[in-house]
Structure 1
Amino acid sequence: MLVLSRKKNQSIMIGDQVELKILSVEGDQVKIGIVAPKSVKVHRTEVFEAIKAQNEKSLTISLDVLDQLNFKKND
């Protein structure tokens, strides 16, 4: 993990297209602005994990349905 110190109104570039801007620091809370192309998905970690879990659940359901369809076809 790379650890960097930044102050209000300073930025960090990730690659050529993603910029993280420090908008404010209030106590233990830091507000960050993210400038990225629309093609780059940006989510909070908890939202990303929920999406990932839902996608994995959908995949499992789809495989179960395929198995059921295959079973009926072989009858």
Structure 2
Amino acid sequence: MLALARKVNESIIINDNIEITILDVKGDQIKIGIDAPKSVPIYRKEIYSQIQQANVEAANGADPAALSQLLK
């Protein structure tokens, strides 16, 4: 992991097309802005983890017999 110190209104650039800017710092909370192409999905980590878990459950919950019956 790379750790960087930034102040309000300072940015970092990732891969020439993603800019992350520090917008505000209040106590232990930091507000960031992300400027990225629309083709780049951006999720909060807790939401991303929920999506991944739902995908695993959907893949594991598929009953081959039920799928076969559905496709007939």
Matched, 1:27 2:32: no
Amino acid at match of 1:9: N
**Equivalent in the alignment of 1:14:** 14
User: Residue in 1 aligned with 2:37?
Assistant: 37
For structure 2, the residue ranges without an aligned partner over 5 or more in a row are none
Return the alpha-carbon distance in structure 1 between the equivalents of residues 47 and 68 of structure 2: 36
Structure 1 residues 2 and 69, CA gap change in structure 2 (3 angstroms): same
Structure 1's consecutive aligned runs of 4 or more residues displaced over 6 angstroms after TM superposition are none
Q: Percent identity?
A: 45
Unaligned runs of 5+ in 1: none
Distance in 2, Cα, partners of 1:56 & 1:18: 29
Structure possessing the higher radius of gyration over alpha carbons: 1
Task: Give me the CA root mean square deviation.
Answer: 1.8
Report the TM-score when normalising by structure 2. Answer: 0.86
* Residues paired across the two proteins, number: 69
